């Protein structure tokens, strides 16, 4: 038995890890130049993330177990002190005791520590810059047409008895929209469902702002801002466990792709907003990192950019079934019946898919 996992995001890497633990011959193909998918670090060495940040261990037993397996630790999201309400451009932000999400925690070393830990255990298995253009089932084996440069089409052919598709939903649907050779009504239904499913957080922009010190903490502020005027609609403390490196992060909202054509102007607007909200205590930031996920070609489609950005719902069980005589599975977080779209969903789905593949043999 051989398995190819398509997509080296968290779900894909976690599935490959569980399969390799079970002795399965597995390899991972990733279209982009780096692994991690929507989990990316703001800096090469730090606790700041450009993708998902929080986990909730009191309610997420799957992530708790995985962190133990990978020997990673958590620390509480900093939320001591008042928040700021930013209502308009002409008045100062007002202090407010906004309640935060109970039990929010972060992974020491940043969420990308999950990816690094899995990559360490999958040494030599993950191939980046391998774009799967199409998948075709012939004689009970999947043939994958793969290109390694944008100008090469069908340059390589990989074959496998089973495949796990762990790419964002609409990209998975596009990959299988060609003549895949599988005579399966349920697979066709699954593809249609995936094509109608928005990738969680795809149309958003996340901004990380680095400072010399966490100056807001010295003023009994949590770093949290709720804004009605933007450009950041919400802001949170994003510093390390002891306050260093010091940073804030914020979301610009689902319309963020409109800023893509003038990134420097957008950064200036972010800086001005933070200085207006915090007032005289706010120094110039050391760095502003903007990650506009709306234009990541291996994450977001045009349909995602124009979507509402609402949290994914649990999809039909058809997307969680194996198809074509146990030869193809879907593993991206949005297909999970537990916490779809979240870190917990990716790891939960990885566990289930790996177990099904091993038991199917």
pLDDT tens digits, 54-103: 999 999 999 999 999 999 999 999 999 999 999 988 777 888 887 777 89
- 105, 184: one domain: no
Is residue 48 situated within a structural domain? no
Judging by DSSP bridges, how do beta strands 126-127 and 25-29 pair with one another? Answer: parallel
In whole angstroms, give the CA distance from residue 20 to residue 4: 12
Last residue of one domain, picked from the residues 251, 266, 295: 295
One-character DSSP codes across 240-261:
-TTS-SEEEEEE--TTGGGGTT
- 96, 122: one domain: no
* φ/ψ of residue 75, rounded to 5: -140, 155
Q: How many domains, the chain?
A: 2
pLDDT in tens, 194-210: 999 999 988 889 999 99
Within 8 A by CB and 6+ apart from 99, the residues are none
Q: Is the pLDDT reported for residue 327 higher than 60?
A: yes
pLDDT tier at 254, thresholds 50, 70, 90: low
Is residue 177 situated within a structural domain? yes
- 102, 134: one domain: no
Token duo for residue 186: 């349920």
For residue 29, give the 3-state DSSP assignment: strand
Cβ–Cβ < 8 Å for 332, 167: yes
Is residue 171 situated within a structural domain? yes
127 vs 89, higher pLDDT: 127
Q: In a 10 Å sphere around its CB, with 0-12 CB exposed, 13-18 middle and 19+ buried, how is residue 344 labelled?
A: buried
- 193, 213: one domain: no
Within 8 A by CB and 6+ apart from 195, the residues are 169, 170, 173, 174, 177
Is residue 301 situated within a structural domain? no
> Measured over all CA atoms, what is the biggest interatomic distance in the chain, rounded to whole angstroms?
70
- 244, 287: one domain: yes
- 180, 316: one domain: yes
Q: What is the mean pLDDT of the chain?
A: 91
The residue segments making up the domain with residue 322 are: 2-39+116-199+312-360
pLDDT tier at 153, thresholds 50, 70, 90: low
Domain CATH for 278: 3.90.660.10
* φ/ψ of residue 290, rounded to 5: -115, 125
Is residue 246 situated within a structural domain? yes
Is residue 131 situated within a structural domain? yes
Cβ–Cβ < 8 Å for 39, 10: yes
- 25, 146: one domain: yes
What pLDDT score was predicted for residue 150?
Answer: 67
Domain CATH for 10: 3.50.50.60
What pLDDT score was predicted for residue 193?
Answer: 97
Is residue 219 situated within a structural domain? yes
Question: Any idea which residue has 């234009």 for tokens?
Answer: 295
Last residue of one domain, picked from the residues 244, 260, 295: 295
- 16, 71: one domain: no
Which range (63-67, 131-135, 240-244, 255-259) has the least confidence?
Answer: 255-259
Last residue of one domain, picked from the residues 245, 265, 295: 295
Chain-centroid distance, C-alpha 221: 29
Cβ–Cβ < 8 Å for 180, 310: no
Residues in a beta bridge with 143? 136, 159
pLDDT tier at 28, thresholds 50, 70, 90: very high
In whole angstroms, give the CA distance from residue 142 to residue 157: 10
Share of the chain above pLDDT 70, in %: 95
pLDDT in tens, 103-125: 999 999 999 999 999 999 999 89
What pLDDT score was predicted for residue 89?
Answer: 83
- 189, 280: one domain: no
In whole angstroms, give the CA distance from residue 95 to residue 281: 14
Is residue 174 situated within a structural domain? yes
- 210, 279: one domain: yes
Question: Any idea which residue has 């990559």 for tokens?
Answer: 119
What pLDDT score was predicted for residue 178?
Answer: 75
- 80, 190: one domain: no
- 220, 281: one domain: yes
Q: Is the pLDDT reported for residue 142 higher than 80?
A: yes
Q: Is the pLDDT reported for residue 183 higher than 80?
A: no
For residue 183, give the 3-state DSSP assignment: coil
């Amino acid at each position: 038995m051989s398995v190819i996992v398509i997509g080296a995001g968290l779900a894909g890497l976690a599935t490959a890890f569980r399969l390799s633990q079970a002795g399965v011959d597995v390899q991972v193909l990733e279209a982009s130049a780096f692994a991690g998918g929507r989990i990316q670090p703001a800096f090469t060495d730090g606790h700041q993330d450009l993708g998902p940040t929080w986990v909730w261990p009191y309610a997420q037993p799957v992530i708790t177990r995985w962190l133990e397996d990978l020997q990673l630790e958590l620390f509480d999201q900093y939320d001591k002190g008042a928040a700021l309400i930013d209502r308009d451009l002409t008045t100062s932000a007002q202090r407010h005791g906004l309640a935060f999400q109970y039990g929010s925690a972060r992974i020491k070393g940043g969420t990308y520590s999950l990816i690094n830990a899995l990559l360490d255990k999958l040494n030599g298995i993950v191939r980046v810059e391998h774009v799967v253009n199409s998948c075709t089932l012939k004689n009970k084996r999947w043939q994958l047409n793969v290109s390694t440069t944008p100008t090469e089409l069908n340059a390589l052919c990989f074959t496998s008895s089973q495949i796990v598709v762990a790419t964002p939903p609409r990209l998975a649907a596009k990959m299988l929209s060609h003549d895949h050779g599988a005579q399966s009504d349920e697979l066709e239904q699954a593809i249609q469902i995936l094509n109608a499913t928005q990738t969680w957080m795809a149309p958003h922009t996340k901004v990380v702002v680095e400072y010399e010190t966490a100056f807001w903490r010295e003023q009994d502020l949590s770093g949290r801002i709720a804004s009605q005027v933007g450009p950041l609609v919400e802001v949170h403390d994003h510093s390390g466990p002891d306050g260093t490196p010091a940073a804030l992060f914020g979301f610009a909202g689902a319309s963020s792709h409109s800023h893509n054509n003038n990134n420097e102007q957008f950064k200036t607007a972010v800086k001005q907003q933070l200085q207006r909200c915090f007032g005289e205590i706010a120094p110039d930031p050391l760095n502003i990192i903007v990650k506009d996920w709306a234009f990541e070609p291996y994450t977001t489609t045009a349909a995602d950019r124009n979507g509402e950005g609402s949290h994914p719902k649990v999809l039909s069980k058809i997307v969680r079934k194996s198809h074509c005589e146990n030869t193809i599975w879907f593993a991206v977080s949005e297909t999970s019946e537990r916490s779809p779209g979240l870190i917990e969903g990716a790891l939960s789905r990885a566990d289930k898919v790996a177990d099904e593949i091993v038991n199917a043999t």
